[in-house]
C-alpha cells in the first residue's frame, strides 16, 4: 500500500505548489473512515481509493482531484456524510465527491429505459465538472484491473458496462490510454476465446518480427537525425481488442490483417512533424489512400497527429503516427492533459488550436453539447439512441461553401450535415450539392467533401428522413419537426370540428372567444386545445360550455351524435369506434372495408377526418414513415347493431349457375351485396374473380359467409381483399 508521504511526493513532483495539507488530511480521513473494510480480494478497502488517486497522479491532476479520489467512496460506503465532507474539505471537493457518489449508484446495463435515465444522470454529473469524469474513469480502471476477484456473473455485467459506456466515454474525452486498457480487460472477460487466439497470434508475430521492429526504429531514428530532427521512435503492436474490432468491421480473418504493427514518431515541433513525414515517405513506399492529417484537422476529442501507412522491410505494412510530445500527451490523456500543458512555453505551436482553457477543450465541449441534447429527446429511447451514436461513431470531416469545418459520424448524409450546421437549415433542406454537383440526400459523405445545402422556407422535413439520418441530433430534430407538423394537423382538425359544432348552434367561429375559454380547459394555448380536440382527447362540447354557450338537453343529444362517415356509395353510416372524439369525421376505407371484431387503425387525412383501415390493409404501408398520422382505434362493443362493409375476392368456375350460388349463400347467411365486379382471369378462361363489397354485422358474420362460399362446388377460393 502506498504511504502517505509517497502520495504527496508524487503530486509535488509535477506540481510544486500542490496543497500538501489537503492531501494529508484527505489521506488520513479516508483511511480512518474505511477502517477495517475489505474488498472481494481480501485486501484493505482503503487500497482502492489510494490506487485511484495513484492513477490520477499519473495524469498529473490537481490536488483537489486527488483528494476527491481518496474520498470518493466515503459517503457511499462509510458513515461519512456530505455535510461532514464539506465542513472538513470545502464545497469544491464536496461537490466532486457528491457527483461520484451519485454515479456509483447507477446501473448502466439495465433495461433500456432505466439505462437511458441512468446514463443521463451520469452525463449530467460529469458535465458540471470534468474532474468527476476523470475520477470515475480512474475508479473504473482500478476496478477492472482487479476484476478477477469478482463473482463471474457480476464480472460480465461490469465488463459489458465498461465496454458500452466507460471505454467509449474515455475515447471521446481523448483519453486513449485509459480507453485501450479498459477495452482490453473487458474483452478478456466478454470473449476469452477470441482474446486468447489474438494474443497467441500476436506473440508468434512478435517472436518472428521483433528484430525487424528494432531495426526500423534504429533506421528511422538515424534518418531523422541525419536531417536535423531529434525524434523518439517506438514500435508497437496493435492491442487485441483493436485487432478484433477491425476484423469485425472489415470482415477479415486474422491472417488477412497486414498492418498489425505501428510506430510512433515523436518530434519537437509541428514543422518537424511535416518534415519527418517527407523523410519517411522518401525512405519507405507509402500506401495510397492511407494518409490522414489530424494536425491541420483535429478530431473532435482534440486528437492531433499525422497518420501514414508505408511498406517497410520484408514487405511488412506498418502504420506511422507522427506528433509532438505535447500532442502525444493529449492523445494519451485527453482532457486530463489540458490543465498541465495549456500554459507550457511551447504550447502555442505544439497545441495550436487548443487555446481554450481546459474546461472548454473540444472534448469537454462535446460533453456539454451532448447534455444540451437532453432537451431534444422526448423519450428514454431517443436519448439512449443519440448518446450511443455520439459515443461509437468514427468521424468524417466536411466543409461548408465558406470553409467551415463540420465533423460528422461515418455514414452521415447531407441531411446530417444540414442539421449539424443549424436545426433551421436541416428543417428547410430540400436538396444538396456535394463538391459542386447535385447529389441525393442519401449520399454518404466522405472526408473533405464540400456540401452546399439547398433550402426552401416552405419545406417541412418528412418523417422518412429519420431513417436516413445517422446523427442523433438530426434524428431528434426530425422527430421534433414531425411532432410539430402532426400537432398542426390535429389543431386544424380540431378547429374544423369546433367550426361545425358552432354552425349547428347558429354561431360563427371567433378566435378571441375560443382563446378566452382556453384557460378553463387546462391548456396553455389555443393550438394545444384545438390539437387535443383533433386527437379526441378533449370534447368539443366542453369547449362550447367553457365559451359560456347554453345548450339544452335536446340540442346536446343532437350534438353528441357521431358525425356520420360515408360508405363507398355515399350513404351515411354511423361508425361506433373508441379513440377519437364523437364529432371527428370518420370514413371506412372502400378498398378493404372494416368490421367489428377485427383490429383497426385510423389514418389522419388532413382536412378530411380519419380513414379507418383493418390492420392487414396494404394501404397502411404508405404511411409507415408517417407515424404522426396513425390513430389507435377500437370498436365500441356497446354500439347498436348495424351492417359494415367488408371487401372479399371470390374465384368461381365459368359455368352456368356459379354466380347464383354465390348470391344464394350470401343471402342465406343474412349478408348483403353492396357492390360486385366480375373480372376474367388472364390466361384462365375457366375461372372468373368476383370483387364483392359485402355488408355484414361483424367478423363472425363475415367468416360464416366466407365458409359457406368455400363449401360450394362452383367456388375455388375465397379471400379477404387487403387493398
Which among 492, 477, 350, 358 has a CA at the least distance from the CA of 425?
477
581: left (phi over 0), alpha (psi -120 to 50) or beta: beta
Name 226's Cβ contacts closer than 8 Å, sequence gap at least 6: none
Task: Tell me the pairing of strands 715-720 and 672-680.
Answer: unpaired
Which among 564, 545, 565, 567 has a CA at the least distance from the CA of 555?
545
Tell me the DSSP string of 612-625.
EEETT-GGGGGGTT
Annotation says 553 is catalytic: no
Which of these is catalytic: 15, 20, 76, 450? 76
Is residue 542 within 8 Å of 517, Cβ to Cβ?
Answer: no
The overall longest dimension of the chain from CA atoms, in Å, is: 108
Burial tier of 343 (Cβ tally within 10 Å: 0-12, 13-18, 19+): exposed
Residue with cell 487485441: 240
Instruction: Compute the half-sphere exposure of residue 88: CA atoms within 13 Å on the CB side of its CA.
Output: 20
Q: What is the four-CA torsion angle of 580, 584, 585, 586, rounded to 10 degrees?
A: 10
Task: Tell me the pairing of strands 429-434 and 405-409.
Answer: unpaired
Pull the grid cell for residue 262.
505501428
Q: Residues 535-547, buried b or exposed e (16+ Cβ, 10 A)?
A: bbebbbbebbebb
Annotation says 77 is catalytic: yes
User: What's the 3-state SS for 577-601?
Assistant: EECCCCCCCEEECCCCECCCCCCEE
The distance of Cα 445 from the centroid of its chain, to the nearest Å, equals 19
Listed in order, strand segments (DSSP E) in 598-682 are 600-604, 610-614, 630-632, 634-635, 644-653, 672-680
Which of these is catalytic: 15, 43, 77, 219? 77
Q: How far is CA 421 from CA 268, 313, 452, in A?
A: 36, 46, 11
Catalytic residue IDs: 76-77
Amino acid at each position: 500500500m502506498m504511504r502517505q508521504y509517497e502520495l504527496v511526493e508524487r503530486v509535488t513532483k509535477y506540481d510544486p505548489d500542490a496543497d500538501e495539507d489537503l492531501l494529508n488530511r484527505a489521506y488520513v480521513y479516508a483511511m480512518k473512515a474505511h477502517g477495517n473494510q475489505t474488498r472481494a480480494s481480501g485486501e484493505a478497502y482503503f487500497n482502492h481509493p489510494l490506487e485511484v488517486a495513484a492513477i490520477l497522479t499519473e495524469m498529473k491532476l490537481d490536488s483537489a482531484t486527488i483528494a476527491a479520489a481518496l474520498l470518493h467512496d466515503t459517503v457511499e460506503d462509510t458513515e461519512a456524510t456530505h455535510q461532514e465532507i464539506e465542513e472538513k474539505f470545502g464545497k469544491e471537493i464536496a461537490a466532486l465527491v457528491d457527483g461520484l457518489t451519485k454515479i456509483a449508484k447507477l446501473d448502466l446495463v439495465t433495461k433500456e429505459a432505466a439505462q437511458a435515465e441512468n446514463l443521463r444522470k451520469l452525463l449530467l454529473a460529469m458535465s458540471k465538472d470534468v474532474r468527476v469524469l476523470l475520477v470515475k474513469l480512474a475508479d473504473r480502471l482500478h476496478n477492472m484491473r482487479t476484476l478477477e476477484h469478482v463473482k463471474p456473473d457480476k464480472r460480465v455485467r461490469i465488463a459489458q458496462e465498461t465496454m458500452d459506456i466507460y471505454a467509449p466515454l474515455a475515447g471521446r474525452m481523448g483519453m486513449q490510454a485509459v480507453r485501450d486498457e479498459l477495452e482490453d480487460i473487458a474483452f478478456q472477460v466478454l470473449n476469452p476465446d477470441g482474446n486468447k487466439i489474438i494474443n497467441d497470434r500476436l506473440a508468434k508475430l512478435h517472436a518472428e518480427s521483433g528484430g525487424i521492429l528494432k531495426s526500423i526504429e534504429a533506421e528511422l531514428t538515424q534518418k531523422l537525425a541525419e536531417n536535423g530532427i531529434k525524434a523518439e521512435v517506438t514500435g508497437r503492436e496493435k492491442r487485441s481488442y483493436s485487432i478484433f474490432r477491425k476484423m469485425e468491421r472489415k470482415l477479415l480473418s486474422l491472417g488477412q490483417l497486414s498492418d498489425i504493427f505501428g510506430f510512433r514518431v515523436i518530434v519537437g515541433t509541428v514543422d518537424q512533424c511535416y518534415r519527418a513525414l517527407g523523410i519517411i515517405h522518401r525512405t519507405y513506399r507509402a500506401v495510397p489512400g492511407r494518409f490522414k492529417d489530424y494536425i491541420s484537422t483535429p478530431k473532435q476529442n482534440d486528437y492531433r497527429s499525422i497518420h501514414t501507412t508505408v511498406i517497410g522491410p520484408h514487405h511488412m505494412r506498418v502504420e506511422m503516427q507522427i506528433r509532438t510530445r505535447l500532442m502525444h500527451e493529449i492523445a494519451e490523456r485527453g482532457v486530463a492533459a489540458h490543465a498541465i500543458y495549456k500554459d507550457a512555453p511551447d504550447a502555442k505551436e505544439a497545441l495550436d488550436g487548443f487555446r481554450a482553457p481546459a474546461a472548454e477543450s473540444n472534448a469537454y465541449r462535446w460533453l456539454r453539447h451532448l447534455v444540451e441534447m437532453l432537451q431534444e429527446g422526448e423519450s428514454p429511447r431517443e436519448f439512449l439512441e443519440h448518446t450511443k451514436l455520439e459515443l461509437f461513431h468514427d468521424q468524417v470531416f466536411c466543409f461548408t461553401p465558406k470553409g467551415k469545418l463540420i465533423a460528422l459520424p461515418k455514414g452521415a448524409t447531407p441531411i446530417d450535415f444540414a442539421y449539424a450546421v443549424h436545426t433551421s437549415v436541416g428543417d428547410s433542406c430540400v436538396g444538396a450539392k456535394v463538391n459542386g454537383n447535385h447529389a441525393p440526400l442519401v449520399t454518404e459523405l466522405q472526408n473533405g467533401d464540400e456540401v452546399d445545402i439547398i433550402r426552401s422556407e416552405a419545406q417541412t422535413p418528412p418523417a422518412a428522413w429519420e431513417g436516413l439520418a445517422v446523427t442523433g441530433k438530426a434524428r431528434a430534430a426530425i422527430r421534433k419537426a414531425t411532432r410539430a407538423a402532426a400537432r398542426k394537423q390535429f389543431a386544424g382538425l380540431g378547429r374544423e370540428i369546433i367550426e361545425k359544432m358552432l354552425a349547428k348552434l347558429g354561431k360563427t367561429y371567433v378566435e378571441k372567444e375560443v382563446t378566452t375559454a382556453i384557460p378553463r380547459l387546462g391548456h396553455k394555448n389555443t393550438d394545444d386545445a384545438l390539437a387535443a380536440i383533433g386527437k379526441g382527447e378533449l370534447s368539443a362540447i366542453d369547449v362550447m360550455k367553457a365559451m359560456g354557450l347554453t345548450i339544452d338537453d335536446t340540442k346536446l343529444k343532437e350534438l353528441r351524435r357521431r358525425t356520420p362517415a360515408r360508405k363507398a356509395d355515399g350513404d351515411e353510416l354511423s361508425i361506433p369506434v373508441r379513440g377519437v372524439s364523437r364529432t371527428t369525421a370518420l370514413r371506412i376505407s372502400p378498398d378493404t372495408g372494416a368490421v367489428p371484431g377485427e383490429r383497426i387503425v385510423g389514418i389522419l387525412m388532413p382536412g378530411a377526418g380519419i380513414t379507418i383501415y383493418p390492420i392487414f390493409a396494404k394501404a397502411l404501408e404508405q404511411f409507415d414513415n408517417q407515424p404522426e398520422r396513425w390513430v389507435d382505434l377500437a370498436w365500441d362493443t356497446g354500439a347498436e347493431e348495424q351492417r359494415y362493409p367488408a371487401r372479399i375476392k371470390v374465384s368461381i368456375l365459368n359455368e352456368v349457375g356459379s354466380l347464383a350460388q354465390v348470391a344464394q349463400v350470401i343471402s342465406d347467411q343474412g349478408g348483403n351485396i353492396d357492390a360486385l365486379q366480375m373480372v376474367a382471369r388472364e390466361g384462365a378462361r375457366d375461372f372468373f374473380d368476383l370483387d364483392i363489397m359485402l355488408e355484414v354485422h361483424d367478423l363472425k358474420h363475415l367468416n360464416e359467409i366466407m365458409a359457406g362460399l368455400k363449401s360450394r362446388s362452383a367456388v375455388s377460393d375465397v379471400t379477404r381483399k387487403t387493398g
